[in-house]
A and B are shown apart, each in its own frame.
Chain A
Amino acid sequence: MSADIEKEMWTSKLRKGWQKNLPIEKLLPDTQPAYVASWIYLFGVATLAALGVIVASGLVLSFEGASWYHYSSVGHFVNSMHFWSVQFFFIFMVVHLWGKFWMAAWRGRRLLTWITGALAFVGSIATAFTGYLIQTNFDSQWISYEAKDGFNSVGIGSRFNVTNFGQMILLHVAFLPVIIGVITLIHVLLVRAKGVVPPIDAFNNELGERK
């Protein structure tokens, strides 16, 4: 009977895999390798922080409605928080991307970390785009008018209609943020699970390579 209980199930496989790859000590460690000593390491966290401000200000905007910020000065301030946090989100993310590229941070079986990061970048551009479409002002009128041709040209417009305000607001506040959230979560968990990538020359001695 006890042998039966020991038999692998989906649930036990998940638990064991999780415990093996991402024990709580790895998720929330006290230390980092000595080479984690550069300002460049802060840009991932900064991107995450900007995303936090985006979500918080965005939530307030969704409770008050898409037109609130046109007539309320509090609304305008919250909209401005949303606007500027998006600017910083992209600024930090791009510096983060440059940093990870020059560190070749995909080394040591970290390809998926790079891929989820790049997906987050592309996905964020799509999300920001839908945000620009639901500003309910001249800019959003123009962007939807102009962008429709791009999407229509390859048939995407048949299902993703940028001039449809209702569709765009739903995608912007429901679908796309969830996608970005999930990708980002996987990205960060992968970094924790794999540990921060060692410097390119870290193993020169072991590998008998000269710098």
Chain B
Amino acid sequence: MSDRRTELESAPWSGRVRRYDLIKEGVAAVVIVAIVVAALSTLFGSPDDKQVTFKQWAVAAPADFYATAVQELAGTSGTAGYGAPYNHASDGVNLGPLYLAKWLGVTHPVDTVNDFVITPLTTVANAAPVADALKQWQGSDAKTQSTWATNYDTALTKANQDASKVSAGNYGPVPALAGGLLTMAQAGSLDGALLSQGNYFQSDNTKQTLFLGDGSYFNDQSTASNLQGSTWGMMNETGRYPGQAWLWLYSFWYQIPPFNNGDNHPFGANADAWIMLIMGALSIGLICMPLIPGVRSLPYKIKIHRLIWKNYYQEENL
């Protein structure tokens, strides 16, 4: 753009003016928007699908809950193998040579064995077999604990999560512990115990949410409500309410190759990181749009402005 043009366009306007009441316009806008919003609220309300509780999970899908508890003990759950910021179990995702999550460290330590199973069990009065199992577990070394849990986890998986079909083996107290946790969850006392971890004040739901997500029940609920990220769920809302339509572009990348294939290396397997990077770059692009050659000339080429200012152009013969 010529400097002369910039001069003219930035100078105070010296042409024709019209009366314009900004404050009246603003007040009218607030009143009208408030009325429209109140009308839609009266007609449609707002989405509020009830939260999922551990009690609900353990009652509706006991086998899934039981198997998940065993996985937490054996260290085979999603959370147990996650890596940073929860534990050191894996390197986590990476952007080429950049292991950002790993480098920033384990800032929210989660020990699935103790945080999800053992500590909650110690906060309630357990039936004799569970109490004995706890004593046996706590009295053994890590290696023995791990052997028991891994043996049982493998056997349970082989039996298709049907505990009654698991053949005999060296499982130590693991079946009793998982059974105790199931009883506790069914009684409704696990939600609070997971959150508080034996404390009073607590406002961090990380442990509950991670445990909940390790099972199938929660994921199935989300699939039923069309909220899975792999099917544009990021944009969706429960029921028929509008979702976050403004996330369309963020959601888009998860639908296309290579990002929609978790087995693709390096992009699909690290889709979260790459998409975050792409969206960060695009956001910066939006912020700096007037500086990007080509894009910034579009309004001059596609003359929508002739429509916007049609009155003025007509009046001034421009």
Contact = CB atoms under 8 A, between A and B. Distances in A.
B312 A37 contact: yes
Contacts of A31: 17-20
A166 B5 CA distance: 52
B142 interface: no
B14 to A, nearest CB: 9
Nearest to A132: B244
Interface string B183-218: 000000000000000000001111001101100001
B41 A201 contact: no
B256 interface: no
B227 interface: yes
Contacts of A34: 15-18, 312, 315
Contacts of B52: 138, 141
Helix, strand, loop or mixed for chain A's interface? helix
Given A49-B26, A102-B302, A164-B205, A85 B1 contact: no
Interface string A144-167: 111011111111111101011111
B218 to A, nearest CB: 7
A142 B222 contact: yes
Contact of B203 (A153, A158, A164): A164
Interface string B65-103: 000000000000000000011000000110100001101
B281 interface: no
A169 B25 CA distance: 33
Nearest to A38: B308
Contact of B18 (A37, A144, A167, A201): A37
Contacts of A145: 209-210, 212-213, 218
A122 B204 contact: no
Interface bin, chain B = 35 or more
A19 interface: no
10 contacts: A33-B18, A76-B46, A81-B38, A90-B245, A145-B212, A146-B229, A157-B85, A158-B108, A164-B204, A203-B9
Contacts of B37: 50, 53, 81, 84-85, 88
Given A145-B209, A198-B8, 8 more contacts: A34-B15, A49-B29, A108-B10, A138-B52, A139-B227, A144-B205, A146-B227, A154-B101
Nearest to B295: A101
A115 B227 contact: no
Contacts of B225: 138, 142
Interface stretch (B120-128, B150-158, B171-179, B286-294): B286-294
Contact of B46 (A33, A79, A205): A79
A118 interface: yes
Interface of A: 28-38, 40, 42, 45-46, 48-50, 52-53, 69-70, 76-77, 79-85, 87-88, 90, 94, 99, 101-104, 106-111, 114-115, 118-119, 121-122, 125, 128-129, 132, 135-146, 148-159, 161, 163-167, 169, 194-207, 211
A80 B20 contact: no
Nearest to B202: A166
A111 B36 CA distance: 33
Contacts of B227: 139, 142-143, 146
A33 B287 contact: no
B212 to A, nearest CB: 7
Contact of A45 (B4, B26, B34, B93): B26
A154 B277 contact: yes
A111 B6 CA distance: 12
Contacts of A40: 308
Interface in B246-293: 246-247, 270, 272-273, 275-277, 283, 286-291
A90 to B, nearest CB: 5
B107 interface: yes
A198 B10 CA distance: 9
A108 B1 CA distance: 10
B41 A49 contact: no
B96 to A, nearest CB: 12
A84 B209 CA distance: 27
Name which of B247, B275, B276 has the most chain A CB atoms within 10 A of its CB: B276
B93 A153 contact: yes
Contact of B204 (A132, A167, A197): A167
A154 B95 contact: yes
Nearest to A119: B287
B308 A157 contact: no
Contacts of B85: 152, 157-158, 161
Contact of B305 (A70, A80, A103, A150): A103
